[in-house]
Structure 1
Amino acid sequence: MAVREGKAPVVAMVCSTGGLDAVTRILGSLPRDFPASVIVLRHHDPQARNRLASILQRHTVLPVSAACDEDHLVAGRVFVAPTGYHTLVTSDDRLTLIVSGDRPPYRPSADLLLVSLAVSVGPRAIAVVLSGYGIDGATGATAVHRLGGVVIASDKASSAVFTMPYATITRDEIINYVMPVDDIAALLIRLVADAPALGLEAQDREGHGEG
């Protein structure tokens, strides 16, 4: 896909318990010239030290960094949502960080990230919901779908904890793909290489409503 400056697709991978392995496997299969920005969000205690960026960097050829306020999304880079902040995407393809505070439910919030992504980039958004407890991400994935983006969830067999993917899969007709974790990278490569695929209803839904 010939990506115009500032108009690259944006992939947001969201997860919680058990999701680190899935994220590393996906990132490890993406090429150095992957023509999309990637945001990784994993639930963390806001008081804990977040070493996720350094861990992920050992598994991918893409440059990885903790997201900073006002970072501009760049194709071929991975931005990791930091602890203690909700991470949002703005209409000029930048990141905005908002202090999350010390109260649950989900910190950082996958729903806030995905809703802001949907509103800001529309059909350029690709949401990937991976292993974790709770329902965070299902509402945000709905927004991605409604505003023209693509929604992917890991299947039950390859999810260490299927609760988060299942919550997304069982939303009313929003899911485009349900698949093994190890197949997701190849799908992402295909989607970002084929601009018309972004924002279109997938013709080959797999396992919709699986429980």
Structure 2
Amino acid sequence: MAVSSKVIVIGGSWGGIQASLAVLRKLPANYSIPIVLVLHRLRNFEGSLQEVYEKRIALKAVEVEEKEKLLPGHVYLAPSNYHVLLENDHTFSLDDSELENYSRPSIDVTFMSAADVFGDNTIGILLSGASKDGSSGLKYIFENGGTTIVQDPDEAEVSTMPLSAINSIPGCQIMGTAHIQAYLLSLHEH
């Protein structure tokens, strides 16, 4: 599989699982852009997020592992209790340093590292959530020429995260999950 020149990074918290499933549900198994999904979850949560996605989407859902290569057709799930960083060689590194915005994994950390590696080929999407994590990362993507999308706060289960991003990034696009899904499908190269 060819290495993609683009990356899609999606962040969410409360309500983010349902919103991300709504966005990813119709993407084909051979989707041409790798997707990295950072969701806040309880630190002692033992259930498998991977299984939740495997049963409901066509893309291959995998939990990020150290030095794993970023490939199309995959949704990479941030593991519990680790920050996920993208490296210049398009691999992942995991970091268990301090919490950022009371979170590990932090959406900001992943969004910023994606923008550092992919620049204006970064598509950042922030979904439903009850914290402000993701706003400064999404702003960083915007400042580096990437595409920034925020779930419509009226549709989000919890609007704190989308509203925080909208307030800090006047140029972000606001879309419902069906519109986000249609946009991502339009980027797919057959």
Fold match by TM threshold 0.5: yes
8 Å contact kept, 1:159–1:181: no
Q: Distance in 2 between matches of 1:17 and 1:155?
A: 15
Task: Name the SS of the counterpart of 1:170 in structure 2.
Answer: helix
Q: Name the CA shift for 1:78/1:142 in 2 (closer, same or farther; >3 Å).
A: same
TM-score under structure 2 length normalisation:
0.93
| Contact 1:36/1:75 (<8 A) preserved | yes
Q: What amino acid is the match of 1:143?
A: Y
SS at match of 2:163: helix
**Structure 1 gap ranges (5+):** 194-211
Instruction: Give percent identity, aligned residues only.
Output: 26
The aligned residue for residue 40 of structure 1 is 37
* Structure 2: gaps (5+ residues): none
CA distance in 2, matches of 1:122, 1:104: 23
Counterpart residue type for residue 123 of structure 1: D
Change in Cα spacing, 1:135 to 1:34, as seen in structure 2 (3 Å) is: same
Whether 2:141 is the aligned partner of 1:119: answer: no
Is it true that 1:62 corresponds to 2:63 in the alignment?
A: no
- CA RMSD in angstroms comes to 1.8
Are 2:127 and 1:133 equivalent residues in the alignment? no
- Distance in structure 2 (CA, Å) of the matches to 1:63 and 1:53: 9
- Post-superposition shift, 1:130? 0.2
Cα 1:187–1:102 shift into 2, 3 Å: closer
Decide whether aligned partners of structure 1 residues 19 and 35 sit closer, same or farther in structure 2, where only a CA change above 3 A counts.
Answer: same
Partner SS state of residue 178, structure 1? strand
Asked if the contact 1:32–1:62 (Cα under 8 Å) also holds between the matched residues in 2, the reply is yes
Aligned residues: 189
Q: CA deviation at 1:100?
A: 4.5
Q: Name the SS for the 2:31 alignment partner.
A: coil
Tell me the equivalent position of 1:190: 186
Q: Which string of whole-angstrom CA distances, capped at 9 and with x for unpartnered residues, describes residues 3-26 of structure 1?
A: x93233211110001111111111
Q: Provide TM-score, normalisation by structure 1.
A: 0.84
